[in-house]
Amino acid sequence: MNIPDTPALRAFSVNDLRLELACALYQHGRLGKVAASELAEVDLFSFQQALYERGIPAADETSLDQDIAALDRLFAK
């Protein structure tokens, strides 16, 4: 990921930006929790904590369906 070197972004590490992006994509229904935690490169529990800290609900019907599908793919091996 190429991040522009601007003063406003210098305060954030790449890991911080990955987590913020993952939270935003999850919040907008673009990724489930498992996929978003993988994008952020954190474990699922840490990602859920990040959602809580940002006031983002950790579960709704769509996200539960996405999480079940992702877990099915992960454990089907």
- CA angle (67 as vertex; 65, 17 as ends), nearest 5: 125
CA distance 19 to 68: 22
What SS3 state is found at 77?
coil
- At residue 26, does pLDDT exceed 90? yes
- pTM for this prediction: 0.73
Determine the pLDDT at residue 52: 96
Q: What are the tens digits of pLDDT across the range 27-76?
A: 998 998 899 999 999 999 999 999 999 999 987 777 778 778 888 988 98
Q: Which has the higher per-residue pLDDT, 62 or 23?
A: 23
* Alpha-carbon torsion, ordered 27, 33, 38, 43, to 10 deg: 120
